[in-house]
Amino acid sequence: MILWFNIVVAVLFGTLLILLIRRRDLWLRYTASEAAFNLRLRSPQRLVDAIRRFEESRAFICCIGVVLAFSLFGAVVSGRVYKHTSDRIKLLRPASRKVSMHQDEHWFQVGQSNPGVRIS
C-alpha cells in the first residue's frame, strides 16, 4: 500500500514539476487567479502576496523537487522491503496441508457444539 501511495505522489509531483519548469506561463496565470480569488474571500493582502511570491519562486520548485525525490526514494525502499520480506515469508511457510470444512447442519441449535475445522 505504501509503495502505491509513493508512486502516486511521485507522479503527481513530477507532473507539477514539469508544469513549473516547462509551462511557467500557465503556472503564473494560475497563481494570479488564485491570489485574486483569495482577495475576493477577504484574505489579508500581506498573506496572499507572501504565498504568491513563494509559489512563483525558485525555492518552491526546489521544494517540489525534494518531495518528488523523497517519494521516489520511499517507493524504491518500500518495494525492496516488500520483495525481501515476501521471499522470507515464502521460506518460512510450512508444508501445504489440505483444510476442509465439515459443518453439521444443526450445530447452531442449543446444546450442540460446533465441529469447527478438521485438518485431513
Nearest alpha-carbon partner for 60 in 99, 100, 84, 28: 28
How far are the Cα atoms of 29, 37, 73, 103, 120 from residue 33, in angstroms, in the given order? 6, 6, 34, 67, 70
Whole-number pLDDT of residue 85:
84
Closest CA to 20 of 57, 66, 69: 57
Residues 79-120: pLDDT tens digits?
Answer: 888 888 877 766 666 655 555 555 555 555 555 555 555 565
Cβ neighbours around 6 below 10 Å, total: 20
The answer to whether 94 and 26 have CB atoms below 8 angstroms apart is no
